[in-house]
Amino acid sequence: MIRLFQKLDELAVISSELEVNSEQQQMLIIDTSSFTTKFIESLSEAKAFIINNSKSNLLTIDGRPKSLQNILEIYTSEVVEKGVKAASGGHMGYIPGGGLYTAAIGDYIAAVTNEYAGVHYASPGAVTIENEIINWLKQILNFPEDSAGNLTSGGSIANLIAIVAARDKYKVKNEAVQKHVVYLSSQTHHSIYKGLKIAGLEDVLIRVLKTNHKGQIDIEELQNSISNDKSSNLIPFLIVASAGTTDTGTIDPLFEIGLIANTENIWYHIDAAYGGFFILVEEKKHLFRGISLADSINIDPHKGLFIPYGLGAVLIKDKRIALKSFNSNANYMQDAIHENIDAISPADISPELSKHFRGLRLWLPLQYHGIEPFKACLEEKLILTKIIRLNLVQRGFCVGPEPELTVTYFWYSYNNVNDDEFNKKLLENILQDGSIFLSSTLINDKFVIRIAILSFRTKLKTVQKCLEMIDLSLIKTKKFFD
């Protein structure tokens, strides 16, 4: 025994390193906060994209302790100064968001208090915060109060949860899989395909619907496909519509699709990962008419509410279905189960048990700022999108159709040069410049350059910088082909 106590004394000295004392805490925070403040200050001047694939072993774990200063230096050279600067307002590729500082404060507090947000019994407060966010989402998306929801790590998992619920409601399993039909469009996000695959629905029949010139699902084709499939003894079970496609920011005719889905008894999922929060903007509300007809909806706060990556959400109208798919018990959970209250726990609507208390990173900013700055920011992005398009047209660029939201695309036609070749080179030059980050996509097999304006840090000044960069890159590209 004595030897064990001696050993414990020895171990205690070493392991006590893990509980930093209050003085060290202050020091760490001061150093971290001066690092983050400098980082944020640098954003307006810094490049939004840095091509740097240089390999180094600085990030390798060698098991030896280092100073925070040293760690931050390594972080700066190996992480911050490589690739897309997602925190920058100059991130106008893919779907940006920015990353609110106050959300980081929420994360910090969530991590220090380490609330167990998986089950209500363990942290009724944390779970209530998560549920209050779900309630707020129900309210803005016109979902009934008794629907269920979950805060996920992002839109892909949110889509997966909805797909699993739909699968289980329609009992799509075993041989039946090959008789069930999913309806989506060429603009549907690839995470839906991934979700179907993960959910064991790889062999389901998929109808990729035609879209009109705006990229919206063609209602007539949807109706015809369903009728044809039914008359061939197939079972239509899932329609996926988009409220803001990733390529063009298009919103499908949600109401018309909803009527068909409800009449035909088909699960109606709306992927609003990108576009959903534009429902907060008065002049855009009408585009979301019919959203309440959905059985499930996916919306990403790490896009439209500018929260740092790692926060999506799913709502499922029929609470019983969601619980049936995800609720699971175990002996070691018996205290939690016997709690006998009807507050839903996140673990009941998700594959996760222990989880990051991710609600706080949204709850805190919403409480701290109130909702108005969020709305103003979204409205601002809509105007900036109009401005950049006007300017591109003035410069002789071709632009895609007027978007409903804040994703748009453009290309340049130059003399006899093949359009795709020219615009690929143009993007290459844009990325080389890197002051603003843009990405590309294919629209009807044509290579186009995409602009996505959603970061809360993207301002008129950023848009002007973007146009200057495009001007310079265009000159360079023309020279290349002359």
Interface residues for ligand PLP in 346-405 (CB under 6 A)? none
Residue 242 or residue 435: which is nearer to ligand PLP going by CB? Answer: 242
Among 189, 269, 361, 389, binds ligand PLP (CB under 6 A): 189
Rounded distance, CA 252 to CA 241, Å? Answer: 6
Rounded distance, CA 342 to CA 331, Å? Answer: 20
Residue 47 or residue 214: which is nearer to ligand PLP going by CB? Answer: 214
Residue 88 or residue 250: which is nearer to ligand PLP going by CB? Answer: 250
- Contact range with ligand PLP by CB under 6 A, out of 21-29, 155-163, 166-174, 286-294: 155-163
- Contact range with ligand PLP by CB under 6 A, out of 24-32, 150-158, 197-205, 337-345: 150-158
- Contact range with ligand PLP by CB under 6 A, out of 30-38, 69-77, 178-186, 268-276: 268-276
Query: Minimal distance in Å, beta carbon 269 to ligand PLP?
Result: 11
Residue 115 or residue 271: which is nearer to ligand PLP going by CB? Answer: 271
Residue closest to 76 by CA, chosen among 38, 113, 104, 44: 38
Distances (CA, A) of 353 to 64, 111, 116, 346: 32, 17, 10, 8
Among 274, 277, 411, 447, binds ligand PLP (CB under 6 A): 274
Residue closest to 311 by CA, chosen among 299, 301, 320: 301
Among 115, 271, 295, 433, binds ligand PLP (CB under 6 A): 271
Among 95, 239, 426, 452, binds ligand PLP (CB under 6 A): 95
Query: Minimal distance in Å, beta carbon 246 to ligand PLP?
Result: 4
**Token pair belonging to 329:** 């018990």
Residue 148 or residue 307: which is nearer to ligand PLP going by CB? Answer: 307
169 within 8 A of 199, measured Cβ to Cβ: no
Query: Minimal distance in Å, beta carbon 244 to ligand PLP?
Result: 6
316 within 8 A of 322, measured Cβ to Cβ: yes
Query: Minimal distance in Å, beta carbon 422 to ligand PLP?
Result: 28
Interface residues for ligand PLP in 203-262 (CB under 6 A)? 242, 246
Among 150, 191, 408, 473, binds ligand PLP (CB under 6 A): 191
Per CB under 6 A, 315 contacts ligand PLP: no
DSSP letter at 343 equals P
226 within 8 A of 236, measured Cβ to Cβ: yes
Per CB under 6 A, 187 contacts ligand PLP: no
- Contact range with ligand PLP by CB under 6 A, out of 72-80, 267-275, 381-389, 467-475: 267-275
Binding-site size for ligand PLP (CB under 6 A) equals 14
Task: Give the three-class secondary structure for 449.
Answer: strand
Rounded distance, CA 67 to CA 57, Å? Answer: 17
User: Where are the alpha helices (H) located in 182-333, listed in sequence order?
Assistant: 190-198, 219-231, 254-264, 301-304, 319-326
Residue closest to 162 by CA, chosen among 312, 359, 328: 312
Query: Minimal distance in Å, beta carbon 183 to ligand PLP?
Result: 16
Per CB under 6 A, 273 contacts ligand PLP: yes
286 within 8 A of 130, measured Cβ to Cβ: no
Q: Which helix (H) or strand (E) holds 125?
A: helix 124-140
Rounded distance, CA 156 to CA 312, Å? Answer: 8
Interface residues for ligand PLP in 37-66 (CB under 6 A)? none
Query: What is the rounded radius of gyration, in angstroms, for the C-alpha atoms of the chain?
Result: 25
Largest alpha-carbon pair distance within the chain?
88
Name 366's Cβ contacts closer than 8 Å, sequence gap at least 6: 133, 136, 374
**Token pair belonging to 93:** 């590729």
Among 99, 118, 155, 215, binds ligand PLP (CB under 6 A): 155
Q: Which residue is nearest to ligand PLP (CB)?
A: 155
Interface residues for ligand PLP in 280-309 (CB under 6 A)? 300
Residue closest to 459 by CA, chosen among 80, 51, 43: 43
Residue 150 or residue 473: which is nearer to ligand PLP going by CB? Answer: 150
Residue 165 or residue 469: which is nearer to ligand PLP going by CB? Answer: 165
Name the site residues for ligand PLP (rule: CB under 6 A). 95, 154-156, 159, 189, 191, 242, 246, 271, 273-274, 300, 312
